[in-house]
Chains A and B, each alone.
Chain A
């Protein structure tokens, strides 16, 4: 039977299923899971472990938060400790898009295009108030900015702050790591 670990809200299937018995899907009521799927889950867990520890961000700064993103990659904070310090300039080689800064209406199609250029599985981190809901630039009838990154790309982690400190970004990356390890992600 699938062990349900509700502590962190993550549902984990057992890594081994020696009897090849059908496993009850802990999420569904009566749905059964094919044993083959469970065996594949072992591989999936391994791959997820790899993905979680190798989140290469796209070199992509929008505004103020980009400087804190750079600071997080620099000596004092060093995102590379968690394997997330390999900033890739090409979207084709990046895993996580850190949306660092205000998204203007002029920029939003570009961001969407970059997101589409990234190979899946991919994740997005909304860094800073602007990418959460417009932040300090939000006011009625604001014409220039996109109020929230989630209007453009599916966002996995929101990091509040204006700008968030590098520690906050690292905390966000660690959160994302947990999320990836658990195998949860948006499709597409």
Chain B
């Protein structure tokens, strides 16, 4: 480990923000570009952080992008760091972390399954929770809303509403 983690994060992230752990449950939040994700993840890995989860927010209504959220934590003493990575699911791909954190494999598959965000160089990017022949991304905001029952993304579902 040549450079310590905070410096490395400062170098790579576009914006960083200290957060009140007592209130929100994490210590810092960083916004980054797709190009630095792997380097940053490797820095986290070398500093002994685990990858707790990868998830996504569908912000296409506001910013036309999906916001990938990575959560890193240290097991010895809690230090939760969130990474935000905005990505356009139609044109861009996020780099996979499954080469560094093996657990990222399934998290990324889940994000792909639910949001349709693709990950480049992923070893087996396929559906994980939904059936393989599913033609929708379940957690996208324009799909299957309860309050707009008839305007759901899947036309076949309409008959089931009552």
Residues of A participating in the B interface, judged by any CB pair closer than 8 Å: 105-106, 139-144, 147
The B contact surface, by secondary structure, is loop
Please report the number of residue pairs spanning A and B whose Cβ atoms sit closer than 8 angstroms. Answer: 31
The 26 sampled A-B contact pairs (Cβ below 8 Å) are: A105-B131, A106-B130, A106-B131, A139-B146, A140-B146, A140-B152, A140-B160, A140-B161, A141-B144, A141-B146, A141-B149, A141-B152, A141-B154, A141-B157, A141-B160, A141-B161, A142-B144, A142-B157, A143-B136, A143-B138, A143-B143, A143-B144, A143-B154, A143-B157, A144-B138, A147-B160
Q: How far is the CA of A147 from the CA of B58 in the complex (A)?
A: 27
- Interface residues, chain B, with chain A CB atoms under 8 Å away: 130-131, 136, 138, 143-146, 149, 152, 154, 157, 160-162
Give the distance to chain B from A111, nearest Cβ to Cβ, in Å.
14
* Complex: A70 Cα to B146 Cα, angstroms: 34
**A147–B159 Cα gap in the complex (Å)?**
12
Chain A residues with CB under 8 A of B161 = 140-141
* Chain A: CB-nearest residue to B156: A143
A22 to B76, CA, bound (A): 86
Of A139, A141, A144, A147, chain B has the most CB atoms within 10 Å of the CB of A141
